Amino acid sequence: MAYRLAGSGEPLLLLHGIGATKDDFSELIPRLAEHFEVLAVDLPGHGSSPMLEVRPTVAAITDAIIADLDARGLDRVHVLGNSLGGRIALEMATRGRALSVVALSPSGLGLPPERVFQGGLMTAARIANKLRNPLIERMSRNVVGRTALTAGLRALPWRASRRESLSVKGGFAEAEGCWSMLWDAILWDVPIGMPRITCPVTLAQGVLDMVASAQTVRYTPLIPGARFVPLPYAGHAPQSDTPDTIVELVRRTAARAHATT
């Protein structure tokens, strides 16, 4: 899979949500690289990463990520994930491959009506971005266009950078694996094994998240020692809504990993 590497120190893996790419973390990467060796990945079928040859379930995507980490000689890593990326981060933790996890609005615990609603939103985003794909590059050059591209995912979309807004081009607009991933990794996903997690976990969700409803806090009683943090003035993908808070959450959660070893 395609990675962007930056910084030095302990490895920190960044996992984006469905319909995005590693560029969704583009403004966070330099800040995180001051403290970690950052590996930002394009999930299968998104950005520059090819589709999987099997159904893109959470388990299969996690298998692919772990295989890439093995190839890089990496065992356990800190993980920051958003939405589906947060769900995959928790799956890695159940397998003992995470040193610590910060999961921003992780998918997986939606009730049936919430899953239908979330699926409808993702479908609308896919269709809308495919239709405006020829305009996305031009839209990303000004604040009005960037706001239109990231509205709904961010609570303060006008703060999104050009690279962050272009994430929808390699994601919702052009991702080959978008439909199958929506079906297999989100709508039909049922998390198991959460009580097996032994690393520090911080669950965070924007209070203005209109996509994932109350899914995040439902993980708290399932994961031993997990902490839930609400993010004021933040949406479903809060990377540019509250960047300083996210960096601090990652640092503090990583520090908890050292305190328990």
Residue 29 near residue 38, CB atoms below 8 Å:
yes
Q: What is the pLDDT of residues 165-224, one digit of tens each?
A: 999 999 999 998 899 999 999 999 999 999 999 999 999 999 999 998 889 999 999 999
Q: What is the pLDDT of residues 135-146, one digit of tens each?
A: 999 999 999 999
Residue 62 near residue 185, CB atoms below 8 Å:
no
Give residue 261's pLDDT. Answer: 60
Compute CA 114 distance to the chain's CA centroid, rounded to the nearest angstrom. 19
Cα 84 to Cα 18, 19, 108, 237, 260: the distances in Å are 6, 10, 8, 11, 27
Range 3-259 has CATH code 1.25.40.10: no
What pTM does this model have?
A: 0.96
Domain ranges of the chain: 3-259
